[in-house]
Structure 1
């Protein structure tokens, strides 16, 4: 138009002086032609706007066919273009009107041409809507999507034109564009749900059946160019995928599909035993997964790998078509989207619940893992070929290849778990540990495991034959198994690589350390309520400490050479195990001692028996109750604890009872003759029944001489204040002369057991205030 205006104005300026108001008659065109053409164009413009408003604003069905309007509009534009061409290339010899009239025509020409171009664009938008609707009805979703995209682009172009009166129709067409696009999204969603369908059936104890059905429209034409029937079946599905990808909806759809695929297919395959079937029915492919409830078993790694491949092969027809046709270098398929959504989760699940569990726990079974490693490599390659993995994703490959580290971690974790389970077993299942009949010398072995009969170590020559003997007692059966496990680990360490042997040795140390934490916690209730479990834990911990003392030295020469140059010992753990043994048993001792003393203190009999002899039967009852408690402790301890530990423990408890009785009797201020006899009877019950607590009547004569026999002297040796208790009984029935004789100027048996104040207190309580008593008291000093 700028050329036309320039030429017209130039012609007007050059001819105005000579021709005045004469028209241009020499050319092939005239101002009348231009005016008529403008009038025709404006009529077409009005007609197009009117019909577009009827269609998209008033929704009137009786509008003209837009194709016919488009043809008229095209004809007018062609005529105007032809006239414009004549005006640009023909020599102007005259102007038929004034400059003002030419300017008006040029202005109308410019406005009309711009308006017609915009209307042409809007008509093209309307045609795009119609094409999108037709393609959508024919399930050509990609064409429909591209038509809507083209309409969007045309509307953006039309929006940049400065034509105010057309803005309303542009706004309406933009709203129509949104409606068309949402309709397409909804239709694609419905088709997706019809194409990919999930069904699940589960009831009670019957198997849970999950079905994935992929439906495709029946073939209605013969495709001579395509040799694969499978490709023809899935043409519309691929078209749907491309349309969703074009709209940016495929990622959201794939996220939902991938989550369902992970939870309903891959997890059951990896975490349980399933029956997998692929069926081909009319117009559909079906994947069926049958899973049995309450079945904790799992498929082996090879079965899992095969099932995962079968699932991806089932999805293969859906995932072969490249979705980005405009980017040939970037082959993005539906499988790529699935891999992006669940690839990492599936890899982690395969590693954690399949490959890791296939790793053996013993080195002798390590060769069997080669098949699993090879299968993992094949699966990784399969994933890359199908586009499920990118070439840079090597997580599963690295895990399967790093077999040494994986194996050592798995084996050590398995050993620790096995040891933990042994520690949690019931304590009351026990076995007897008898005195060893061997020489008891420290056994040393060379690198081949042969016993060394001679040693140059001075310390070994100085050790006695009983240095490494463990006393006869009962320990928990699980601890025997634990010790066997420790020696198995050490034997395997002697035949392993230096790295693995080091891990195994420190696993042994961890087991010994773990015992002190697991057993008191796992058995806290029985240890706090029953006396026997505490004794068993005491023996078991001491037994472990006994083995910990010599374990490192025993295997030092047989371990791999790098370990021999370092400090290999478990001796330092023996002290911790012994502390666990003593602290656990002492806690039980404290509870039993408190129970015994509470029986005496709560009754308050000894405070009143001196003045009320009628309370003697009640006192005897409480003493018998104490003896009954001690008898029960004897039954649960004597055949469990080592004899020395038992006599010492029983001596402490009996000594506490005796001390309490002595303290209460000595503290009495007045003891009548009748009360004294009653006290003697009560105390004689204790004196007669306590020595049998230290004797083992059922013990068979030992095959070798040891120190397990008991004698009456054990009572005197282990029970504190026993002689003082016996002396107190004598004192209660003695006369003043007898007391003075047993005092013997501070050198007699009475003086060895009682202090001066205690003797005087008893004399004042037993005898009335007489001159004779005063003389005796004067001599007690």
Structure 2
């Protein structure tokens, strides 16, 4: 071929110079008449046999096509200087063709990228993403955190498409790079537009899919921030600011937060409903009420374990822990509050309530262990583990202490209050007075102990 066309154009110019000198005898009017007769045919032949074949079919070849554009522009400018074509660019048929080719290539590539992005997002099966045997490559490193998380194949493929578009942009002219950049941006926005609507049902229920979509948005928000660092230096001059998608990063981050917040709210609502079934944990000395209270605790444990298994395998560890703390805190706080509001407890009731607390704690041991940093191969709930948990979930400390209080003597309870131990666990003076009145019959000792509690500030 003619590569950039300079050799072809040089030969055509030599022919035209010969015609101008020996046929038109340097007469401008004759030269222009000769041009009117021949230029349309010459330009058509150049387009058909050279320019059309030189049109690139991929971005990596567009830089080479810039040489064709330059030589074509120089060719027509030379012809203008020779008065062979009009100086007002009306006859710039070849330049118009090469300019249009670049625009059409850019727009076509942009549309191709968006079609691929939409296909990826619409066709991906989100129903059971964890069941696939080849989901190992879906566990990715977060860009700005030393953690991993599970993302969907669609997010993985989408980022591959975005990276491909930006790599092509780095090899393209400024005009084409702009289109590739817009295509990458639009592909990301397609995820935000399509996936939440497509998976609305799953996002409005506690599901592993919702956790994965949270991860997708979270991962994409970090990847978006990294694009500028990765590609800006290689972008065509004057286009570097286009690759900085910083305005998209907070949008995706907020979407991730919103999805996770919704999951936590749904979990809280389910847990609250389960606790409601205990009817305030009153009258547990009666078998019917005792069974209801026990079933309520078992339901709470079931829901928490379900969330534990679902979230731990998917969410980044720091987000998993933080989310579980948000869920667990109100649970222990609510159960403790309900038990402390009981205004009269028989001796058998205190034992039943203590048993319910122990039931919850024992059945949640695997969940508790998943929330602490423990380097031991054989994990168990030791003192250090409980200290970590109590610091992260203050209401758990109070919940555990309540189990002890239900089996303590009046003097021991009073001494624990005076020492500040109970206040450190979150108990208030009012709660302790009501608790003592509910468990211990009226007596001079009870009156005296209540007086000490009132007199001793928390």
- TM-score calculated relative to the size of structure 2: 0.70
2:403 aligns with 729
Query: Out of 682, 687, 702, which is 2:361 matched to?
Result: 687
Cα shift at 1:756: 0.5
Cα shift at 1:780: 0.3
Distance 1:651 1:778, change over 3 A: same
SS of alignment partner, residue 238 of structure 2? helix
Conserved? CA contact 2:345–2:439, under 8 Å: yes
Cα shift at 1:677: 0.4
Structure number with larger C-alpha Rg: 1
Cα shift at 1:365: 8.6
1:594 aligns with 269
Aligned runs of 1:402-481 on 2, under 5 Å? 402-424=100-122, 425-427=124-126, 428-429=128-129, 430=135, 431-433=137-139, 468-481=144-157
Distance 1:630 1:406, change over 3 A: same
Query: Is 1:488 aligned with 2:194?
Result: no
Query: Is 1:604 aligned with 2:291?
Result: no
Distance, in Å, in 1 between the alignment partners of 2:265 and 2:323 is 11
Distance, in Å, in 2 between the alignment partners of 1:435 and 1:520 is 23
CA deviation string 1:233-285 (max 9, x = no partner): xxxxxxxxxxxxxxxxxxxxxxxxxxxxxxxxxxxxxxxxxxxxxxxxxxxxx
Cα shift at 1:690: 2.5
Distance, in Å, in 2 between the alignment partners of 1:700 and 1:742 is 31
2:306 aligns with 632
Cα shift at 1:520: 0.8
1:525 aligns with 201
1:543 aligns with 219
Cα shift at 1:554: 1.9
1:652 aligns with 326
Conserved? CA contact 1:472–1:642, under 8 Å: yes
2:47 aligns with none
1:16 aligns with none
Cα shift at 1:543: 1.0
Distance, in Å, in 2 between the alignment partners of 1:504 and 1:613 is 71
Cα shift at 1:524: 0.9
Q: Which structure has greater helix proportion?
A: 2
2:180 aligns with 504
1:25 aligns with none
In structure 1, runs of 5+ residues without a counterpart are: 1-358, 368-397, 437-466, 703-709
Distance, in Å, in 2 between the alignment partners of 1:720 and 1:511 is 44
1:738 aligns with 412
CA deviation string 1:282-312 (max 9, x = no partner): xxxxxxxxxxxxxxxxxxxxxxxxxxxxxxx
Query: Is 1:573 aligned with 2:272?
Result: no
Query: Is 1:363 aligned with 2:62?
Result: no
Cα shift at 1:627: 0.8
SS of alignment partner, residue 151 of structure 2? strand
Cα shift at 1:526: 1.9
Aligned runs of 1:324-363 on 2, under 5 Å? 362-363=58-59
1:768 aligns with 441
Distance 1:435 1:560, change over 3 A: closer
Q: How big is the alpha-carbon RMSD for the aligned residues of Structure 1 and Structure 2? A: 3.0
1:455 aligns with none
Distance 1:626 1:487, change over 3 A: same
Instruction: Count residues with an aligned counterpart.
Output: 352
Distance, in Å, in 1 between the alignment partners of 2:391 and 2:101 is 63
Aligned runs of 1:368-387 on 2, under 5 Å? none
- TM-score calculated relative to the size of structure 1: 0.42
Query: Is 1:559 aligned with 2:231?
Result: no
2:14 aligns with none
Conserved? CA contact 1:613–1:678, under 8 Å: no
Distance 1:749 1:604, change over 3 A: closer
CA deviation string 1:621-679 (max 9, x = no partner): 22112211211112211111111211221222222221110111111111111011000
Distance, in Å, in 1 between the alignment partners of 2:217 and 2:367 is 26
CA deviation string 1:315-337 (max 9, x = no partner): xxxxxxxxxxxxxxxxxxxxxxx
Conserved? CA contact 1:549–1:570, under 8 Å: yes
CA deviation string 1:566-616 (max 9, x = no partner): 46412232111111111012112211210111011144151343x635522
Distance, in Å, in 1 between the alignment partners of 2:141 and 2:263 is 26
Aligned runs of 1:40-189 on 2, under 5 Å? none
Conserved? CA contact 1:671–1:765, under 8 Å: yes
Query: Is 1:719 aligned with 2:393?
Result: yes
Conserved? CA contact 1:419–1:482, under 8 Å: yes
Cα shift at 1:432: 4.2
Distance 1:627 1:421, change over 3 A: same
Distance, in Å, in 2 between the alignment partners of 1:360 and 1:685 is 71
Aligned runs of 1:270-285 on 2, under 5 Å? none
Distance, in Å, in 1 between the alignment partners of 2:251 and 2:163 is 20
CA deviation string 1:703-727 (max 9, x = no partner): xxxxxxx954442233240111111
Cα shift at 1:470: 4.8
Distance, in Å, in 2 between the alignment partners of 1:434 and 1:512 is 18
In structure 2, runs of 5+ residues without a counterpart are: 1-54, 64-95, 130-134, 377-383
Distance, in Å, in 1 between the alignment partners of 2:176 and 2:297 is 62
Distance 1:567 1:487, change over 3 A: closer
Conserved? CA contact 1:652–1:720, under 8 Å: no
2:66 aligns with none
Greater RCO (Cα-Cα under 8 Å, separation 6 or more): 2
Cα shift at 1:530: 4.0
Conserved? CA contact 2:110–2:182, under 8 Å: no
Conserved? CA contact 1:724–1:754, under 8 Å: yes
Conserved? CA contact 1:544–1:577, under 8 Å: yes
